[in-house]
Structure formats: structure tokens, C-alpha cells
């Protein structure tokens, strides 16, 4: 699996995962328990949306459309070419 999206928080990660799932791309959201360990302070860089290797390109296209519509805040798409 590869990281398709790094969200600013766990909520954003689940929104993007839902978008990808609705378009037929299976996802795994990582960092759920790590963020909770930080308490009320928002943890950064722990909320990642993972997809299978073969789904990385279409997932990034959907994320780019999502960001272009102004839905993403300070979240970043990962450029993790392998």
C-alpha cells in the first residue's frame, strides 16, 4: 500500500477515504490511534489515506479534483513515486 493523501487531521482523512471508496478505490486510514494519544492537541502528519499500489494514480487524480474545488485545507498530496 502507498500513501495517497496526508490529511491535516483524522476527519479530513476519512472524508478523502470516503471519496475514494465511493469511486471504487479501497482505502485504509492510518494514524487514528496515534492522533488520539495526543489528546486535545491536534496531531500533525499522522492521518494518512493508503491505497493499493495499482490504485495510486487514480486516487491522486480524485484527490487533485477534491483539492481544486477548495475542500482541502493545509493537507498535502504525497509525491511518493516508486
Does the residue 82 lie in any domain? no
Confidence at 75, pLDDT banded by 50, 70, 90: very low
pLDDT tens, residue by residue, 33-73: 555 545 544 555 578 999 999 999 999 999 999 989 886 65
Does the residue 81 lie in any domain? no
- Per-residue model confidence (pLDDT) at position 45: 59
2 forms bridges with which residues in the sheet? 51
Q: CA 43 to CA 11: how far, in whole Å?
A: 12
Domain range for 59: 2-34+45-71
Q: Which residues have CB under 8 Å from 17's CB, separation 6+?
A: 27, 29, 49
Q: CA 64 to CA 30: how far, in whole Å?
A: 20
Q: How many domains does the chain have?
A: 1
Amino acid at each position: 500500500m502507498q500513501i495517497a493523501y496526508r490529511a491535516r487531521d483524522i476527519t479530513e482523512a476519512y472524508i478523502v477515504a470516503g471519496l475514494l471508496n465511493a469511486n471504487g478505490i479501497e482505502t485504509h486510514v492510518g494514524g487514528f490511534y496515534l492522533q488520539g494519544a495526543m489528546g486535545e492537541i491536534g496531531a500533525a502528519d499522522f492521518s494518512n489515506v493508503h491505497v493499493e499500489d495499482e490504485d495510486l494514480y487514480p486516487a491522486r487524480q480524485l484527490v487533485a479534483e477534491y483539492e481544486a474545488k477548495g475542500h482541502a485545507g493545509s493537507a498535502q498530496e504525497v509525491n511518493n513515486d516508486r
